[in-house]
């Protein structure tokens, strides 16, 4: 171990100091004056030297390390021309706020070596670009200067520092001292008076809007912002460099201010009476412009005071640690204020969701940037990182690339330099080698540092760089066009990018047709090595969209604005105090109900207009029309309007699913599990929204609705678990001398595209029992939800649309008319049809389905035998009442036929009737309601007719039997003639037929005397009778000591006879959605 009196080389101590600061990489191009430092780096066990081909690339890489870690990135160059090449990087770091240390060499300062050859006053040059710059004049100063400059670089606002180390200083021998210890620097907190002023402004505002900018991109700040938004329910926008601070799938995310004015998000800014601008610095391109006559106030929250500018002059500054300031304001305000009105912001959001990615499916070649960006988002996992250069495409990435995590979209909106895209991607890949990384460059920006392909190859990176080739400086051409200048002087003559890549030892790819884009990206992201992908692009349409089209669309959006503002209620402002709130443990973010469902258009506040839902085509919401009206089953009023697909759209959906089949089948099981688990998380967050949707569209009482949402969550949870348990088997085949040495492996493979048709009665869970196993096994699907209850399936579609793992076309959910739905049955691209509905329709579909596999769940007239009261009569009656009458009997396993042992018949009958008469019928939103409305008046009328026919034929109505509009009460009928519909067919209403029996075997025969066979129930203590029922009742399931209406979502579920074909239940549906494939092997494992 080195002693305190030992002598060491100054460069050795310098490198040890860098190690002490946690430096892992030094990027650079050393020169003669750095040789001592280079030799010291050679001996370091903690620092990797990355020798680049140009100093500018080294500087960009160091700045990127600082950006993604918050710790200094370090770059190294020689004197003179090497050092001057750092100036752009220094400006990039200074304006962007990235901590970076630049080390430059210099000629000896204690003796002249070569006169003034190559000598430039680098310290003077760096002074306006750096937070700190100094020439090291004594070797012993290196320790303190490294600690000092690192601290300066990393302190808010972070930025570049520079140390010039002359050749003779680096090589001198100095006494050893250990590096200075590194202690965390606690940021100062905002003054309490400023917090009070901010709270007053927020509480008194009518429509506050949060803007998240670059300075908020800190780990603690991001957590505090999420809690602030979730607790107070304030919608937010971001600047370009604020993207990903909060997951952009958040229901309160409005959009990104990709340009400074006249975009959709500015329609929200213009109507906000307060903008809480968090982490904004005027060096970033403004997210909005302030004007002196504006009514909108601006609250500046940042680590440092605002810089007043002609377009930015906030009304209040909260200066200090952003996370602490947000926490204090949240604690004082506590909850959303009743007078806040965000309805206009939600209208803007819906407009953004609908239009911002227009033309992403455009099939033209060369591609629109929207199509390319959508393909990149689909290819990228949730934690994948995209590093942009600078060009026209950056505007489109900012507008439409949905960013889920911090620092997963690295773009420059401060210096906006070209040439940084590839070096940034390389730095990220070196720091996080297990993450997927794309660099994205224009052809112009790529040319500026394309030599670094060789560096990436040398260091064995697995990296893809996409070159968007328009043979021009596209951003400047756009400005040239909008400025009215003739097109001139901005074209580029490009090399063969594939050959260029290969000349550096990388792999080159060129996308030569519209069909090749998505498959190429899906392929290269999983390949080893360095890959350069040339993608031809055409910005012509962008010029139109960001010009006259955007102008007209903004006018359309503004036309939706309410004519009058909501009157503001008197506001109680929290009492100011000079004391901060008492600290308490941070809690997890609270799920805040969105003012409207995500990606669903809601009417303005105070309006009675319906909600608006899209259909989902190839994973994407499409607000194509408002043709499908969804009726509130309790009120008879239009609750929502949905987009309705025609046959052409269904055909597109099938084609998209067919294209996605291979990608879905190849998806690793952990990714399929992640899709399902993330869906579960959001379903829990949106629990009440889903339940209320069921109340409205299905008339389901709220208790039953909440129960169904719980089952939806269970079903997706089971599917997530089963997705990683799809096993095969090994089987020996050497059954005779003829096949000696043979063995086999059997695996299950997904069938392919699945056609799904779901019914109205369980809009969520019956859809889930088709969707979840398909996702678990890797089958793309196209679903037709019931036209009377499509909302539940569409909300599932909304949740799945945010899954980055799913390839384009993985799913479509398309409400449509029967006339438009024929392809769901006959199209040969479907490999399986999964239908739940009426027997008449289901069996006809099977006849026309062709060669595809078919599973049918078609209902029944479920029977229940009460041979004994187990455990007691109260428990039995409670089960029967629920089984017969829950959700108005609209269940395929609703108790319809009750057979009671004559010995206990009268007691059981009277108890059931008494309980049925007490059931409350009414508004399904009332927690005390048991019987809600039937799906429509027509169905209630049919049930009434069937009951009257049975009464006229000799049956006796013991209770109920009188319709009230679309409501039909719980009805018990005694001794209904067996030939009547109310007994022999599926009544699908709140009617139960009851009769007695004397012989148990006869009761089983009565159960079987039906064309249906889904489930049956039996109450008995006699195990022999239980097994007799199990072995002799012709049904898909027998439930002992419970009614047949019980369905556990993991059980095999399906019927026999007219009740269907095949089985649901996740594991069993997975078997139906896969097919076994055998690999036969001979003499495997033998070396001779």
The residues annotated as belonging to the active site are 857, 892
Token pair, residue 592, equals: 């805040």
Nearest partner of 450 among 409, 416, 496, 405, judged by Cα: 496
Nearest partner of 26 among 427, 494, 409, 555, judged by Cα: 427
Q: Which residue has the tokens 């507008």?
A: 399
Burial 799-817 (b: 16+ CB within 10 A, else e): bbbbbbbbbbbbbbbbbbe
Instruction: Measure the CA–CA gap between 235 and 267, rounded to whole angstroms.
Output: 13
**Contact present, 246 and 229 (Cβ < 8 Å):** yes
Instruction: For residue 283, count other CB atoms closer than 10 A to its CB.
Output: 15
Q: Could you give phi then psi for residue 612, rounded to 5 degrees?
A: -125, 125
**DSSP single-letter state for residue 568:** P
Measured CA to CA in angstroms, residue 914 lies from 834, 871, 881, 917, 974 at distances of: 40, 19, 10, 5, 14
Token pair, residue 1016, equals: 């049956």
Secondary structure of the chain: what % helix, strand, coil (to 5)? 40, 20, 40
Residue 164 pairs with which residues in a beta bridge?
104, 135
Nearest partner of 991 among 961, 949, 948, 1015, judged by Cα: 961
Instruction: Measure the CA–CA gap between 881 and 873, rounded to whole angstroms.
Output: 12
Kindly give, in sequence order, each residue whose CB lies less than 8 Å from that of residue 309, ignoring residues fewer than 6 positions away. Answer: 282
Instruction: Measure the CA–CA gap between 159 and 1068, rounded to whole angstroms.
Output: 58
DSSP 678-722: HHHHHHHHTHHHHHHHHHHHH---HHHHHHHHHHHHHHHHHHHHH
Q: Which residue has the tokens 């008879």?
A: 636
**Contact present, 439 and 465 (Cβ < 8 Å):** yes
Number of residues that this document lists for the chain = 1088
Nearest partner of 472 among 496, 445, 444, judged by Cα: 444
Given CA atoms 221, 227, 230, 231 in this order, what sign does their dihedral have?
Answer: negative
708: burial class by Cβ within 10 Å (0-12, 13-18, 19+)? buried
Measured CA to CA in angstroms, residue 509 lies from 387, 465, 517, 538 at distances of: 19, 10, 11, 19
Instruction: Measure the CA–CA gap between 425 and 387, rounded to whole angstroms.
Output: 5
Instruction: For residue 43, count other CB atoms closer than 10 A to its CB.
Output: 10
Q: Give me the helices (H) in 70-136, please.
A: 80-84, 87-96, 122-126
The helix-helix angle for 35-42 and 10-20 (nearest 10°) equals: 50
What is the enclosing helix (H) or strand (E) of 14? Answer: helix 10-20
**Three-state secondary structure string covering 178-244:** CCCCCCCCCCCCCCHHHHHHHHHHHHHCCCEEEEECHHHCCHHHHHHHHHHHHHHCCCEEECHHHCC
Bridge-based pairing state of the strands 274-278 and 1056-1057: unpaired
Measured CA to CA in angstroms, residue 93 lies from 30, 188, 420, 602, 1006 at distances of: 21, 23, 11, 43, 83
């Amino acid at each position: 171990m080195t002693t305190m009196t030992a002598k060491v080389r100054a460069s050795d101590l310098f490198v040890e100091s860098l190690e002490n600061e946690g430096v892992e990489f030094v990027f650079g191009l050393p020169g003669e004056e750095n040789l001592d430092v280079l030799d010291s780096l050679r001996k370091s066990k903690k620092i990797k030297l990355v020798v680049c081909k140009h100093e500018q690339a080294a500087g960009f890489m160091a700045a990127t390390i600082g950006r993604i870690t918050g710790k200094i990135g370090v770059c190294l160059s020689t004197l003179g021309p090497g050092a001057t090449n750092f100036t752009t990087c220094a400006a990039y770091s200074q304006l962007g706020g990235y901590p970076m240390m630049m080390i430059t060499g210099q000629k000896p300062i204690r003796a002249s070596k070569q006169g003034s050859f190559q000598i430039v006053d680098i310290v003077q040059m760096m002074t306006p670009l750096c937070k700190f710059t100094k020439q090291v004049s004594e070797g012993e100063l290196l320790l303190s200067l490294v600690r000092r400059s690192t601290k300066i670089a990393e302190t808010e606002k972070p930025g570049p520092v520079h140390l010039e180390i002359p050749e003779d200083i680096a090589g001198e021998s100095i006494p050893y001292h250990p590096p200075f210890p590194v202690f965390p620097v606690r940021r100062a907190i905002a003054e309490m008076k400023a917090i009070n002023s901010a709270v007053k402004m927020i509480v008194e505002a009518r429509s506050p809007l949060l803007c998240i900018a670059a300075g908020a991109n800190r780990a603690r700040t991001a957590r505090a912002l999420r809690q602030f938004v979730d607790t107070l329910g304030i919608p937010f926008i971001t600047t370009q460099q604020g993207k990903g601070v909060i997951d952009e799938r958040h229901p309160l995310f409005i959009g990104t201010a990709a340009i400074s004015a006249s975009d959709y998000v500015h329609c929200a800014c213009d109507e906000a009476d307060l903008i809480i601008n968090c982490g904004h610095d005027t060096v970033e391109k403004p997210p909005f412009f302030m004007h002196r006559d504006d009514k909108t106030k601006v609250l500046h929250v940042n680590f440092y005071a605002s810089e007043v500018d002609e377009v930015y002059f906030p009304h209040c500054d909260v200066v200090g640690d952003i996370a602490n300031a947000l926490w204090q304001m949240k604690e004082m305000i506590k909850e959303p204020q009743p007078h806040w009105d965000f309805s206009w912001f939600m209208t803007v959001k819906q407009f953004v969701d609908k239009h911002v990615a227009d033309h992403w499916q455009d099939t033209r070649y060369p591609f629109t940037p929207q199509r390319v960006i959508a393909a990149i988002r689909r290819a990228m996992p949730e934690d994948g990182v995209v590093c942009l250069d600078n060009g026209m495409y950056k505007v489109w990435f900012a507008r439409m690339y949905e960013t889920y995590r911090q620092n997963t979209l690295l773009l420059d909106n401060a210096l906006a330099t070209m040439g940084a895209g590839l070096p940034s991607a390389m730095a990220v890949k070196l720091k996080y080698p297990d993450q997927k990384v794309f660099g994205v460059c224009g052809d112009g920006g790529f040319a500026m540092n394309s030599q670094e392909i060789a560096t990436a190859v040398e260091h064995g990176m697995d990296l893809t760089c996409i070159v968007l080739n328009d043979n021009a400086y596209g951003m400047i051409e756009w400005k040239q066009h909008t400025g009215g200048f003739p097109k001139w002087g901005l074209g580029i003559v490009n090399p063969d990018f594939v050959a260029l890549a290969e000349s550096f030892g990388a792999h080159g790819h060129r996308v030569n047709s519209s069909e090749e884009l998505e498959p190429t990206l899906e392929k290269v992201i999983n390949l080893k090595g360095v890959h350069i992908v040339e993608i031809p692009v055409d910005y012509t349409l962008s010029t139109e969209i960001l010009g006259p089209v955007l102008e007209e669309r903004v006018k359309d959006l503004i036309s939706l604005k309410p004519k009058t503002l909501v009157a503001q209620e008197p506001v109680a402002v929290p009492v100011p105090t000079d004391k901060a709130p008492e600290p308490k443990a941070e809690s997890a973010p609270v799920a805040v109900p969105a003012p409207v469902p995500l990606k669903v258009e809601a009417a303005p506040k105070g309006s009675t207009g319906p909600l608006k839902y899209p259909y989902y085509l190839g994973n994407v919401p499409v607000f194509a029309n408002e043709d499908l009206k969804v009726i509130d089953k309790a009120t008879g009023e239009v609750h929502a309007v949905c987009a309705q697909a025609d046959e052409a759209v269904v055909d597109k959906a099938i084609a998209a699913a067919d294209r996605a089949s291979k990608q879905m089948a190849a998806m690793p099981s952990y990714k399929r599990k992640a899709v399902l688990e993330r869906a579960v998380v959001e379903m829990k967050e949106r629990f009440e929204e889903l339940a209320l949707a069921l109340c409205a569209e299905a008339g389901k009482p709220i208790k039953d609705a909440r129960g169904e949402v719980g089952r939806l969550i269970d079903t997706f949870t089971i599917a997530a678990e089963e997705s990683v348990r799809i096993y095969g088997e090994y089987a020996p085949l050497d059954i005779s001398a003829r096949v000696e040495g043979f063995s086999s492996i059997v695996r299950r493979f997904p069938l392919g595209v699945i056609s799904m048709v779901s019914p109205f009665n369980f809009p969520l869970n019956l859809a889930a029992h088709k969707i979840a196993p398909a996702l678990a096994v890797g089958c793309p699907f196209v679903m037709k939800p019931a036209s009377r209850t499509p909302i539940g399936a569409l909300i599932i579609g909304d949740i799945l649309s945010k899954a980055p793992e799913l390839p384009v076309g993985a799913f479509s959910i398309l409400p449509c008319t029967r006339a438009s739905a024929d392809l769901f049955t006959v199209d040969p691209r479907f490999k399986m049809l999964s239908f739940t509905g009426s027997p008449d329709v289901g069996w006809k579909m099977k006849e026309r389905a062709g060669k595809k596999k078919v599973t049918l769940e078609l209902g029944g007239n479920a029977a229940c035998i009460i041979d004994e009261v187990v455990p007691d009569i109260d428990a039995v009656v409670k089960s029967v009442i629920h089984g017969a009458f829950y959700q108005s009997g609209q269940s395929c396993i609703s108790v319809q036929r009750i057979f009671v042992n004559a010995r206990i018949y009268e007691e059981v009958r009277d108890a059931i009737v008494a309980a049925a008469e007490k059931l409350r019928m009414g508004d399904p939103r009332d927690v005390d309601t048991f019987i809600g409305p039937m799906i429509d008046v027509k169905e209630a009328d049919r049930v009434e007719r069937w009951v009257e026919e049975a009464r006229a034929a000799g049956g006796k109505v013991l209770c109920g039997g009188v319709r009230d509009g679309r409501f039909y009460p719980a009805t018990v009928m005694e001794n209904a003639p067996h030939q009547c519909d109310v007994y022999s067919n599926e009544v699908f209403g709140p009617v139960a037929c009851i009769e007695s029996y004397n012989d148990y075997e006869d009761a089983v025969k009565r159960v079987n005397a039906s064309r249906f066979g889904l489930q049956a129930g039996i109450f008995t203590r006699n195990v022999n009778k239980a097994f007799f029922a199990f072995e002799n009742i012709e049904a898909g399931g027998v439930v002992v000591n419970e009614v047949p209406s019980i369905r556990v979502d993991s059980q095999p579920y399906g019927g026999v006879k007219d009740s269907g074909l095949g089985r649901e239940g996740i594991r069993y549906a997975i078997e139906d959605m896969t097919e076994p494939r055998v690999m036969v092997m001979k003499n495997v494992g033998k070396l001779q």
